[in-house]
């Protein structure tokens, strides 16, 4: 099983796990304070089979560098992350309810 790398990026923890048998990388972002997962995606990387032996990760100021294949292949990820808040996470999942005419609106 591939091992995970953890990066601290702009108040988030990024868990990076190579997808077994592919050159993709699964990235999951968690808020560093609460540990809540706020996003995840598979990132295609052109690292090829030579990187299967291991990857080296480093991050600085919103950019992560991934080196594999004994240093012969590299990829970079640039992060554009908003400042995390619980309101951001909860509000993202809420659907706006719209009334269908005055019959659905009544005074308390």
Q: How confident is the model at residue 77 (pLDDT cuts 50, 70, 90)?
A: confident
pLDDT at 61 over 70: yes
- The confidence score (pLDDT) of residue 101 equals 57
β pairing state of 5-9 and 37-44: unpaired
Question: How does pLDDT run across 5-43, given as a tens digit for each residue?
Answer: 888 887 888 888 888 777 778 888 888 888 888 888 888
What residues contact 58, with CB distance under 8 A and at least 6 apart?
Answer: 7, 64, 65
Answer whether residue 104 is part of any domain.
no
Domain count, the chain: 1
- The confidence score (pLDDT) of residue 102 equals 57
Q: Provide the residue range defining the domain that includes 18.
A: 5-81
Answer whether residue 22 is part of any domain.
yes
Residue range 79-93: mean pLDDT, rounded: 63
- The confidence score (pLDDT) of residue 5 equals 85
What is the CATH number for 16?
2.40.10
- The confidence score (pLDDT) of residue 54 equals 72
**Are the CB atoms for 70 and 52 separated by under 8 Å?**
no
């Amino acid at each position: 099983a591939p091992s995970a790398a953890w990066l601290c990026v702009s108040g988030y923890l990024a868990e990076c796990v190579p997808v077994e048998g592919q050159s993709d990388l699964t990235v999951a972002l968690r808020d560093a304070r609460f540990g809540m997962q706020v996003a995840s995606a598979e990132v295609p990387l052109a690292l090829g089979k030579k990187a299967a032996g291991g990857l080296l990760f480093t991050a600085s100021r919103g950019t992560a560098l991934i080196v594999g294949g004994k240093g012969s292949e590299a990829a970079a990820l640039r992060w554009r992350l908003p400042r995390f808040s619980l309101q951001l996470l909860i509000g993202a999942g809420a659907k706006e309810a719209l009334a269908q005419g005055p019959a659905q609106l009544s005074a308390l």
